[in-house]
Amino acid sequence: MRLKIKENSTTITRRLIQILAFLTINYIIIEAIFPINLISLEGFIKFLPILNSPRNPLSNGAGILEYIFYSMANGIFPFFMIGVLILVFLFSNRVFCGWICPIGTIQDACAAIPTKKKKLSIKTHQSLLKIKYIFVIIIIIIIFPLGITRNTNYIFYTEFKNTIGAFADQPVGFFSLSEFLFVYFPTIIQEIFPFSWDYFASYTIIGFYILIIVISVWYPRFYCRYFCPFAAVASAVSDYSFLKLSRNPVKCIGRSECGLCERVCPKQIRILDEPFEFFTGKGECNLCIKCKEKCPYDAIQIKFINF
């Protein structure tokens, strides 16, 4: 019974933070409640995820990573923002993904629908994990020549920009659900009705994202695992973070006797195959702490490495 109370308090705390974050960093909702003078917040606004929308005159994207990519596509190397992002990862690892990200919250709400959760085969799971890295590579292939030639060869820049069309202005928008949902969707939804084949690409993207959200009812955090560009960048540096989880091999009784941590993990991480000193699930762990709160033997701990 004592264990049950402990489980609920962690989950409730995380849920409350997720709901609060969803409301406070979502410009569309803030704008609906409080009329804010955005110009006075210009320098501040661009660092905050999602605090943008098509109605926001300062809108460049849905979050810091999107803004970094936009800056680079426009020939600016955003040292300060990259530094901020690295510090966030170093000190909090992927806590943002597990506790704050609105897209994570939407998927967690879907996963809360009482259905039997499913797992993909290890091979399929491992293969699909690569998709998000491919997305980031495609984005970089697009933005690097754009950003460099904007300052060095403007004719090439203009021709390349015209050739790749909308990708040039919104390289992240085609791969980021947060960008799509919070920045473009409200505008797109006004444009695409009544039905017209001219908007076939928009219908396809909307259908794809709706499908992904629906799938997350059975496969929690489906978008985070396989498609999110932010997750790709975060997971690449996660092993270097000071904040990680560890597993006490003395307390843990193993997969055949227990394995509860792996069964509840929404990211399908094979915790018991990871090093016990610390684990990040090869960067996939978003520190939701479900494994820790469910472990009946208190074998999983949060720790700051090197501190």
**Which residues of the shown chain bind ligand SF4 in the complex (CB under 6 A)?**
245, 247, 252-255, 258-261, 265-267, 269, 271-272, 281, 285-291, 295, 297, 299-300
Of residues 85 and 265, the one with the C-beta less far from ligand SF4: 265
What is the Cβ-side half-sphere exposure of residue 55, based on CA atoms within 13 angstroms? Answer: 13
CB of 286 to ligand SF4, least distance (A): 5
CB of 280 to ligand SF4, least distance (A): 8
CB of 282 to ligand SF4, least distance (A): 11
Of residues 63 and 283, the one with the C-beta less far from ligand SF4: 283
Of residues 46 and 94, the one with the C-beta less far from ligand SF4: 94
Helix orientation angle between 122-152 and 64-73, rounded to the nearest 10 degrees: 40
Of residues 109 and 272, the one with the C-beta less far from ligand SF4: 272
With b for 16 or more beta-carbon neighbours within 10 A and e for fewer, the 50-75 pattern comes to bbbbbebeebbbbbbbbbbbbbbbbe
Give me the DSSP letters along 104-141: HHHHHHHHTS--------HHHHHHHHHHHHHHHHHHHH
Element (H, E) at 156: helix 154-164
- Residue 305 CA to residue 277 CA, distance in Å, equals 9
CB of 259 to ligand SF4, least distance (A): 5
CB of 238 to ligand SF4, least distance (A): 10
Kindly compute the dihedral angle of the four CA atoms of residues 69, 70, 71, 75, in this order, to the nearest 10 degrees. Answer: 100
CB of 164 to ligand SF4, least distance (A): 36
Of residues 88 and 272, the one with the C-beta less far from ligand SF4: 272
Of residues 98 and 173, the one with the C-beta less far from ligand SF4: 98
Q: Dig out the tokens for 50 from the structure.
A: 């999602």
